[in-house]
Amino acid sequence: MTRALLPRPDFGDHAEESARPRVLVCDDNAGFRESLLTLLGTGDIEVVGEVASGLEALALARELGPDVVLMDVRMPGMDGIEACRRLKAVMPDVGVVALSGHEDQDIVREMLLAGASGYVLKDSDGDEILHAVMEAAEGGAVLSAQVTPSVIEELTESLERERRHTRELEVAQAALVERSARRHELVARLSHELRTPVTVILGIAQTMAKGNASAQQQSELLERLVSRSQDLARLVERFELTIDVALTEQVDVANVARQMALLSERVRVEADHVLPVANLNPAAARRILEELVDNALRFSPDGAPVTIRVRLSTSGIEVRVSDRGSGIGPADVERIFGPLEQLEDLNVRVHQGAGIGLALARTAARAMGGDVVLETSAPGSSTFLWTIALDDD
């Protein structure tokens, strides 16, 4: 049954808006609906219509524009929960007061989550129903005293869980953006750093193509060309491994360190007995340690040991690589992580290398949520620290 008791008022320039709340009654029980109309008539309330189903409530509410809808929860066809949800989607300012003959926690929660402004039991005192309607018209909310406090506590806990989930998503999104930015930085660096060796190779090839060099010069140029080409191939390989850091799996970092010890008898490994696995790209993890160990071996005296220490900290896994070198001055701490940087001038260099290892080690570590830094340095020893973040379970 659908019945509009009063037409929607004209709010034009020459009409006065009624101060009384305009209410639409929705209940499939004709007897109870009649009782509601009688009750509402005793208050300062204007009943604009009555309906017997959720679908009828949606249609008549759009036509009449009530301030409040008194909505039965259990109705055939479309129940009050779905009707409330749809009504609030198209008329967000309308107040909905749920009516129910049951104190069911699940129904109360679903109705409130659907957007109801209040929840009143059908056997409540008449004044309580009138109060709920007036509060809903003014944007407030009323829950029947018979509704158990545990429902409210459950709703509060549910909202808190949603807030925590939202915060977790925000943190994850920020981490994803940061990792993406670092990978973008790496790709940008790739195009810049490849330009130098390619330019050198091109210059050598052009010189040889002119045919003006002697046989001895041609032999030297060819040797340099081969050497530079090999360096370039190794450089590209390093970048490829670093770019793939997003492809992660569970890695035993201590085992990776032990593999480094197999490459040189000078490398020693100290690791905690129990260490959690870390989500890393295995090739990139191995490359990071290779770069740190290679750097330590090259700058330590012949025969001097290099130590890898793997420890668990409160923030994750810490890997320290210590050498027996001459140390690094404070002014050079950050410069050594620059691409194609070495502390020795080219004409006096005794330690060979492209000078990009530490830069790639740091970039790869950061792309996987960690970092590589120079922790300590003094004459006779330097220690590089690789920090590895662990996923929160």
* Mean pLDDT lowest among 188-192, 260-264, 361-365: 188-192
> Given the DSSP bridges, would you call strands 381-389 and 316-322 parallel, antiparallel or unpaired?
antiparallel
Over range 333-357, report the average pLDDT.
49
* Mean pLDDT lowest among 32-36, 122-126, 336-340: 336-340
Claim to verify: residue 269 and residue 374 sit in the same structural domain: yes
Q: Which residues contact 356 (CB under 8 A, 6 or more apart)?
A: 193, 235, 238, 339, 340
Coil, helix or strand for 47?
strand
Claim to verify: residue 203 and residue 90 sit in the same structural domain: no
Q: Which of 152-161, 188-197, 318-327 has the highest mean pLDDT?
A: 318-327
Percent of the chain with pLDDT over 90: 28
Domain harbouring 10, CATH code: 3.40.50.2300
Claim to verify: residue 110 and residue 235 sit in the same structural domain: no
Gyration radius from the chain CA atoms: 37
**Is 154 a domain residue?**
no
Q: Which of 188-197, 272-281, 342-351 has the highest mean pLDDT?
A: 272-281
Claim to verify: residue 22 and residue 113 sit in the same structural domain: yes
**Is 212 a domain residue?**
yes
* Residue after which a domain boundary falls, among 147, 177, 207: 147
**Is 152 a domain residue?**
no
DSSP single-letter state for residue 98? E
Structurally, how many domains does the chain consist of?
Answer: 2
Claim to verify: residue 270 and residue 372 sit in the same structural domain: yes
Residue 82: the pLDDT is 92
Claim to verify: residue 183 and residue 290 sit in the same structural domain: yes
Over range 302-323, report the average pLDDT.
95
Claim to verify: residue 255 and residue 346 sit in the same structural domain: yes
* Residue after which a domain boundary falls, among 147, 181, 206: 147
Claim to verify: residue 195 and residue 315 sit in the same structural domain: yes
DSSP string, 263-295: T-TTEEEEE-SS---EEE-HHHHHHHHHHHHHH
Residue 20: the pLDDT is 86
148 pLDDT band (50/70/90 cuts)?
Answer: low
Coil, helix or strand for 351?
coil
Q: What CA–CA distance (Å, rounded) separates 290 from 111?
A: 61
Counting every residue written for the chain, the total comes to 393
Helix 282-298 vs helix 215-243: crossing angle, to nearest 10: 130
228 pLDDT band (50/70/90 cuts)?
Answer: confident
Answer whether residue 197 shows pLDDT above 80: no
Residue 110: the pLDDT is 84
Claim to verify: residue 28 and residue 127 sit in the same structural domain: yes
Distances (CA, A) of 97 to 81, 86, 155, 216: 11, 15, 17, 97
* Residue after which a domain boundary falls, among 93, 119, 147: 147
| Residue range(s) defining the domain that contains residue 229 | 163-389
Q: If 0-12 CB within 10 Å is exposed, 13-18 middle and 19+ buried, where does residue 81 land? A: buried
Percent of the chain with pLDDT over 70: 79
**Is 157 a domain residue?**
no
Answer whether residue 55 shows pLDDT above 70: yes
- pLDDT tens for each residue of 231-242: 777 667 666 555
**Beta strands per DSSP E along the chain:** 2-4, 22-26, 46-51, 68-72, 95-100, 118-121, 142-143, 249-251, 267-271, 278-280, 306-313, 316-322, 371-378, 381-389
